[in-house]
Amino acid sequence: SRPLYRGALISPLGKILLQCLLRLCAVHTVIHFLPFSYSQTKGIRALAGALRDYLHLTDGKTEAQRGEVTCQGLGLLSAGQFPGSASLPDAGQGSAFSPTDEVVLKFEMGHVRARNLAYDTLPVLIHGNGPTKLQLNYLGNYIPRFWTFETGCTVCDEGLRSLKGIGVRLGTVVLGVAPVPSYSLLCPHPQEQHHRAQVEQFLTEHGDKYQSVKLVGPEVRMANAEARNMGADLCRQDRTCTYYFSVDADVALTEPDSLQLLIEQNKNVIAPLVTRHGRLWSNFWGALSADGYYARSEDYVDIVQGRRVGVWNVPYISNIYLIKGSILRAELLHPDLFHHSKLDADMAFCANIRQQEVFMFLTNRHTFGHLLSLDNYQTTHLHSDLWEVFSNPEDWKEKYIHEDYTKALAGKLVETPCPDVYWFPIFTEAACDELVEEMEHFGQWSLGDNKDTRIQGGYENVPTIDIHMNQINFEREWHKFLVEYIAPLTEKLYPGYYTKAQFDLAFVVRYKPDEQPSLMPHHDASTFTVNIALNRVGEDYEGGGCRFLRYNCSIRAPRKGWALMHPGRLTHYHEGLPTTRGTRYIAVSFVDP
């Protein structure tokens, strides 16, 4: 070593760092990242001063005169790399970074650098401490060439744990589900009594697939943070537990290999990206505000929308994440991860992890699934998912709309059993079953006589035993269904007719041999009628069907989940054929009365 700057000695380590930095970077200014504590006082001071002196001496010289200095990257140093601490003085007027929002990424061909907007400078030395470590982590996602527009993520495949071809047992994964279940140990935590039946049914059908199950019901009155602490501690106390996988009820995973993909990424704490359909709402924050709450990072939208794909060091994750069991038994040994000051459980969890200097990563390398919107979720119904057509339209469609509906919409699966009568798939088994069960659960079936106080005028010419959609507060959701799924087909099948799918009457009819087996010939009070079979002939009932008298044409074997659509007035005088055994259910809509 020899004196390099103001009589200070640079250590052998500092000399090596200096040589590396000079070979990596052609720069014009030395910048320190905020005046926070640094380390190895003499060596680092000497390094900073030497860099400044070197750059001063080489300013204006040609590339050849500078030797082998090349502009290939940026040296990134963090305080955690050096023992001890000391204050790093300013290495030159105007060389200290301003607040972190003045530091942005500068993308160049094949590599990335940090830029100080306040002074329009490019640093060769970056240091972050205290709250600025989060900004340093953000920069470290890119600098010097971890992620570029030309290459994408260059380090995402480093350190992967391949699970292919492994025939041995990998260990135990504790799965914590909150608040309801949608390898390993299972720890579901339902907070609402409403979900008890669903949880019990799930455990009856799938409980034997788990090594053991611990169910914490609402009667225990366990708070959110305590339940989450308990789930993590189950893994912490079990030496065979290799991972703790926490999944909230508002996460819908569509990638069946999600758990394997997360394990293969081999991070201590990692979350898959999940977002709400069509929105920027996700399960991570790219930055934090000064008070520790949400702040949007520059790359947040690009990550959410998939324009930047990789594995990202982030300050906050929630809803779903995987933690190594070894980390829970080491850095995260404290049993109370989900309390911190007055923060909510999710923010407390992340604050505690950051405090222990454990990185949290987010991956958007695969499409893992999405977040449900539970803000307006109702628990007053037997099957509350039926009411989710507004809040979670894509999930509602997947659960309740027939898989062949798109074929019908394309004209490839529409039958014409009678003149101007169209027959097509519309509902899934779940839609049919849940609608019937919801009506039977409500139970207030009409008497099937002409007097009916539910309709205008109080008199029904052609009475049925039924329950109207508005009786179960379902008319708004039913109208949405008609607009989204029936109206497009109507406009294709009856060219020139356009509908807003308005209705006065929409109801579920029940036919039974000893109650009301059939329905007299009649016209419907509609421009067109939609009649959906809700159960299966030959299994649930015998007989039934519909006969159009003018054409002497009958449909005697309605298919469950399929709809009959026909004109209501003038041309399609029809009757309901007798049900001879069991119970038949249909959903009827008189559209555009």
Is there a contact between 495 and 415 (Cβ–Cβ < 8 Å)?
no
Residue 159 lies in a domain: no
Examine the domain organization and report whether 249 and 209 are in the same domain: yes
Q: pLDDT per position in the chain (593 positions), as tens?
A: 233 333 333 445 555 555 555 554 443 333 333 332 333 444 455 455 545 555 555 555 554 444 333 222 233 333 333 323 333 333 333 333 334 567 889 999 988 998 888 888 888 777 777 778 888 899 999 998 999 999 999 999 999 988 876 555 566 888 877 643 333 455 665 556 667 777 888 888 888 888 888 887 777 778 889 989 999 999 999 999 999 999 998 999 999 999 999 999 999 999 999 999 989 999 999 999 888 889 899 999 999 999 999 999 999 999 999 999 999 999 999 989 999 988 999 999 999 999 999 999 999 999 999 999 988 888 889 999 999 999 999 999 999 999 999 999 999 999 999 999 999 999 999 999 999 999 999 999 999 999 999 998 899 999 999 999 999 999 999 999 999 999 999 999 999 999 999 999 999 999 999 999 999 999 999 999 999 999 999 999 999 999 999 999 999 989 999 999 999 999 999 999 999 999 999 999 999 99
Strands 275-276 and 369-371, by their bridges, are parallel
Residue 42 to residue 449: CA distance in whole angstroms: 98
Find where tokens 């996460």 sit: 251
In this structure, which amino acid lies at residue 441? H
DSSP letters, 417-428, are: EETTEEEEE-B-
**Which range marks the domain in which residue 340 is found?**
172-371
Count CA atoms within 13 Å of residue 282 on its CB side. 26
Give the active site residues.
Answer: 584
Residue 90 to residue 295: CA distance in whole angstroms: 29
- What is the sign, positive or negative, of the torsion defined by CA atoms of 194, 198, 203, 209? negative
Residue 308 lies in a domain: yes
Residue 167 lies in a domain: no
| Residue at which a domain ends, from 317, 346, 371 | 371
Residue 169 to residue 423: CA distance in whole angstroms: 51
Structure tokens at 202: 């799930």
Residue 440 to residue 466: CA distance in whole angstroms: 10
Check residue 578 and report its DSSP letter.
P
The count of domains in the chain is 3
DSSP letters, 387-400, are: GTTTTSHHHHHHHH
| Residue at which a domain ends, from 347, 371, 395 | 371
In this structure, which amino acid lies at residue 447? L
pTM over 0.85: no
- Which residue, among 388, 410, 425, 419, has the nearest Cα to 530 in the 3D structure? 425
Neighbours of 45 (CB within 10 A): 22
Residue 378 lies in a domain: no
Instruction: Identify the CATH number of the domain in which residue 362 sits.
Output: 3.90.550.10
- For the chain, helix (H) and strand (E) counts, in that order, are 14, 36
Residue 161 lies in a domain: no
